[in-house]
Amino acid sequence: MPGTTQDTNNTHRNVSCDYKPLQECLLKNNNDRSQCMKEWQDFQQACREKN
């Protein structure tokens, strides 16, 4: 079923760029991105790979 595969791929793409480790780090550090540089870099790399 091509429609099902496409829907799954779109969902996977959205999940990969909704990077939980970065969100959690920002929450712990009052949204101070300087405290989460590793997570920020990992997030950018993960989103680049999926696009």
End-to-end CA distance of the chain: 23
Instruction: Write the pLDDT tens digit of every residue in 3-45.
Output: 444 444 444 444 457 889 999 999 999 999 999 999 999 999 9
Residue 35 pLDDT: 97
Q: What are the distances in angstroms from CA 27 to CA 11, 33, 50?
A: 24, 10, 25
Locate the domains of the chain by residue range.
2-50
Answer whether residue 47 shows pLDDT above 50: yes
Residue 7 pLDDT: 42
Residue 33 pLDDT: 92
Residue 23 pLDDT: 95
Residue 17 pLDDT: 79
